[in-house]
A and B are shown apart, each in its own frame.
Chain A
Amino acid sequence: DQQVKQNSPSLSVQEGRISILNCDYTNSMFDYFLWYKKYPAEGPTFLISISSIKDKNEDGRFTVFLNKSAKHLSLHIVPSQPGDSAVYFCAANTKTSYDKVIFGPGTSLSVIP
C-alpha cells in the first residue's frame, strides 16, 4: 500500500529549462509535504516543504505546488542546473504522527548541459 507515489522513475531536462517532478498521495490525513534531494552515496537532504493549508511555497529556484482536491503536488525547478541532477523524494506526514514520514520511491532527475 503505497501512500506516496512518484510515477516517473526518471526525468531528463536540458540545462536552463524547467524541471517538473510530480507526486500523488492517497492518504487525505496528510497535512505536511516535503521534498528531499539525494546524491549517490549520501543521505537525503531536505529541500522544501509545504503545509496543507497552502497551495504554493517558493524558495529560490524551487517551488512546490499542492492541489489537495487532486491529492497531487509538484516540484518545479527553474532554471535547471547540472548540479540539480539527483534523486528527488516526495514525502508526507500527519499532525498526529510527525515522527513517521512516508516517502515515495523517488524520481531520478538528469539535467543535461
Chain B
Amino acid sequence: NAGVMQNPRHLVRRRGQEARLRCSPMKGHSHVYWYRQLPEEGLKFMVYLQKENIIDESGMPKERFSAEFPKEGPSILRIQQVVRGDSAAYFCASSPGQGAHGYTFGSGTRLTVV
C-alpha cells in the first residue's frame, strides 16, 4: 500500500442516482478524513472517521450524504439522489492519529453529475 487509494478516479452519474466513493487509508492509518473541492474553491472539510466511528461530521450536508469506515474494508462516502451541485472533486486523507500534520491525501475522485 503505497499511499491513500481512492476509487474510482472518475465517476459519472445521472441526476437521481447514487454515488459511492471508496477510500483505503495508508497501512497503519486508522483515521480517515473526507474533503470536497468545488470548482474554483478550496478544500472543504466534510467528515472525520475512525474505524466504525464517526468522530466529526460537521461538514457533511444534512441530507443525502453519509460516510462509514467499517472494521474491514475501505471508507465509503455515499451520496444518494445526486444533483448537479454535487459535481466536485472528493479527496480522502488518512493519518495514524489525530493531527493534521500527519495527513496523507489520496488522488481524489472526480464526480460529474449529468
List residues of chain A with CB under 8 Å of any chain B CB.
4, 6, 32, 34, 36, 41-46, 49, 89, 91, 93, 97-106
A89 to B45, CA, bound (A): 14
A6 to B44, CA, bound (A): 15
For B59, give its contact among A6, A43, A45, A100 (CB under 8 Å): A100
User: Is the beta-carbon distance between A91 and B100 smaller than 8 angstroms?
Assistant: yes
A-B pairs, top 8 by smallest CB distance, nearest first, are A43-B105, A103-B42, A103-B43, A105-B42, A99-B48, A101-B100, A98-B98, A98-B99
A44 to B44, CA, bound (A): 13
- Most A CB within 10 A of own CB, among B43, B45, B107: B43
* Residues of chain B with a CB closer than 8 A to A91's CB: 100
Count of chain B residues near A, Cβ 8 A: 28
B41 close to chain A: CB less than 8 A: yes
Question: How close is A88's CB to chain B, nearest CB, in angstroms?
Answer: 11
For B33, give its contact among A6, A46, A97, A99 (CB under 8 Å): A99
List residues of chain B with CB under 8 Å of any chain A CB.
4, 6, 31, 33, 35, 40-45, 48, 55-56, 58-59, 91, 93, 98-101, 103-108
In the complex with contacts A49-B101, A102-B45, A103-B43, A42-B107 CB distance below 8 A: yes
User: Is the beta-carbon distance between A46 and B101 smaller than 8 angstroms?
Assistant: yes
A45 to B105, CA, bound (A): 7
- Smallest Cβ-Cβ distance to B4: which chain A residue: A43
* Residues of chain A with a CB closer than 8 A to B6's CB: 43
A54 to B50, CA, bound (A): 31
A93 to B101, CA, bound (A): 10
User: Is the beta-carbon distance between B91 and A106 smaller than 8 angstroms?
Assistant: no
* Residues of chain A with a CB closer than 8 A to B41's CB: 105
Question: How close is A34's CB to chain B, nearest CB, in angstroms?
Answer: 6
User: Is the beta-carbon distance between A93 and B91 smaller than 8 angstroms?
Assistant: no
